[in-house]
Structure 1
Amino acid sequence: MSDRKLIQQFVDSFAKLDDMLLLESNYPELVVDQTAEEWETWNAIPVWQPASISTPLEALDSLYNAIGGGPLPCLYEALILTYRWLEVDLKVFELFANPPGEGLGGLINSISKRQYSTENLLFPRYIPFARAGAGFHDPVCFDTSQMSDQRDCPIVRIDHEALMCDSKIVERERPWKSFRDAVTEVVFSS
Structure 2
Amino acid sequence: MPAKILFLLLVLALSGCASLQPPSSTATASAAARSVAMANRDAEAAQQRLAAVAAQRAGAEQQFCPNWRQALGQARRNAMGCARMPLGEQATCWQAVSQWTQEESRYFHALAPLFQEGAYATPAAQAARFFDLAQGWAITCQDGQKACSAASGHQQMDDHKNVVNRFCSR
Pick the TM interval, shorter chain: under 0.3
Given the two structures, how large is their TM-score scaled by the length of structure 1? 0.22
Which is strand-richer, 1 or 2? 1
Which is helix-richer, 1 or 2? 2
Given the two structures, how large is their TM-score scaled by the length of structure 2? 0.24
